[in-house]
Structure 1
Amino acid sequence: MAALIDAIDIKRKMYFEFENAPYYCLDVEVSTPTARGGQTLVRFKMRNLLTRAVFDKTFKAGEKFKEPDLETIEASYLYSDSDASYFLDQESFDTIPLTAEKLGDALQFLTEGLIIKIDKFNGNPIGLQLPEKVELAVAYTEPGARGNTASGAVTKHARLETGLEIRVPFFVEEGEKVKVFTETREFAGRA
């Protein structure tokens, strides 16, 4: 049986189960009453890992939560079709499908063979974690012209192989591989 956690013991970046769904604690605030007999309350800013919704909720300090049955596995991206995107589990070699709702905008960073982490709740895939940076080829960018730096515009628009559009330095050419931060969608350097 999973261990029970008191609300007062849940800290930032912890996982817990509430109403049969896994949650991630983004922030926690404890309010202790000054009056005698008052109850200590714990306010969480929490993310539902199934729906990705973020909201605030207040609990009594003594309320108990189960530890969620979460597991993270490594998988490589295979391909996508109209139904889902498919990944290969690196240990069991099973194919794992993820629907567009579970992927979010992650498809803009996925290239064949990219190793990612898939989160599972009760054995079922619920989402994925991208690496900090990914390498993508530049599919289109305007040519960098000498003198463009005088106006302070040292970046230009580029469309990458996955359709992601970012700003890159003017010296980056079509066909070159660049590194992109997955969280901020910013240029991280040449590959």
Structure 2
Amino acid sequence: MAYGMGDLKKGLKIELEGVPYRIVEYQHVKPGKGAAFVRAKMKSFLDGKVLEKTFHAGDKCDEPHLVEKQMQFLYHDGDSFQFMDTENYEQIALTDEQVGDAGKWLVDGMSISVLFHNHKAISVDAPPVVQLKIIETPPNFKGDTSSASKKPATLETGAVVQVPYHILEGDIIKVNTELGEYIEKVKQ
């Protein structure tokens, strides 16, 4: 299926010159003179680079052949992230660049969505919310009951998030992976 200028919107996946992109910003412009056009910022699934492109009426772009597959994250070996297909037990490796920011939320054994383009793994999406254990955070100090105050906490994956003062080492918290923010403490 080919997309025209009127079909473009934020979050849409398109393919230009054999490269799959996701539209991250979209602006429909109607100048006083001349025809309307769409100005879009697109992020490449292959290398994460952002491209800005202007689409005019009549311009077409293709729908990419993308397939999402649930896989199990096995481990990070220092150079790449190792994943296993739970149906046929095949393993694939993705580079740090391909995994991107999602890598700081991955825990061994976690089920993760891996994106394939033309049967080749190109990127991963971390779950929108993950539960992670805090391995290091400064201790509380008596008298600070302000709920707006935050302190840094290092999670088991190495990521650092800001948490309220009542959160302690060893606590398990829910984290929004898209924003990198603390949501709540998990009741144990």
Partner residue of 1:107? 103
Q: How does 1:1-191 map to 2 (within 5 A)?
A: 3-32=1-30, 38-149=34-145, 154-191=149-186
Return 161-170 or 119-128, whichever deviates more.
161-170
> One-letter code of the match for 2:23?
C
Larger radius of gyration: 1
Return 103-112 or 4-13, whichever deviates more.
4-13
- Listed one character per residue, the Cα deviations across residues 153-184 of structure 1 (whole Å, up to 9, x for unaligned) are 64322211121122222222211211111112
Q: Percent same amino acid among aligned pairs? A: 35
Relative to structure 1, is the Cα distance of residues 41 and 155 closer, same or farther in structure 2, using a 3 angstrom cutoff?
Answer: closer
Offset of residue 30 of structure 1: 3.6
Unaligned runs of 5+ in 2: none
Relative to structure 1, is the Cα distance of residues 41 and 167 closer, same or farther in structure 2, using a 3 angstrom cutoff?
Answer: closer
Relative to structure 1, is the Cα distance of residues 70 and 153 closer, same or farther in structure 2, using a 3 angstrom cutoff?
Answer: closer
Superposition CA RMSD, Å: 2.1
- Output the TM-score relative to the length of structure 1: 0.86
Relative to structure 1, is the Cα distance of residues 109 and 178 closer, same or farther in structure 2, using a 3 angstrom cutoff?
Answer: same
Offset of residue 33 of structure 1: 6.2
Residue 28 of structure 1 contacts residue 44 of structure 1 at CA under 8 Å; is this kept in 2? yes
Match of 1:103, SS state, is: helix
Relative to structure 1, is the Cα distance of residues 63 and 138 closer, same or farther in structure 2, using a 3 angstrom cutoff?
Answer: same
Relative to structure 1, is the Cα distance of residues 158 and 18 closer, same or farther in structure 2, using a 3 angstrom cutoff?
Answer: same
Match of 2:170, SS state, is: coil
Offset of residue 126 of structure 1: 1.0
CA distance in 1, matches of 2:151, 2:61: 50
> One-letter code of the match for 1:131?
P
- Listed one character per residue, the Cα deviations across residues 56-83 of structure 1 (whole Å, up to 9, x for unaligned) are 2112211222211111111111011133
Match of 1:105, SS state, is: helix
CA distance in 2, matches of 1:125, 1:112: 19
Offset of residue 18 of structure 1: 0.5
- Output the TM-score relative to the length of structure 2: 0.87
Residue 8 of structure 1 contacts residue 62 of structure 1 at CA under 8 Å; is this kept in 2? no
Match of 2:145, SS state, is: helix
Relative to structure 1, is the Cα distance of residues 142 and 75 closer, same or farther in structure 2, using a 3 angstrom cutoff?
Answer: same
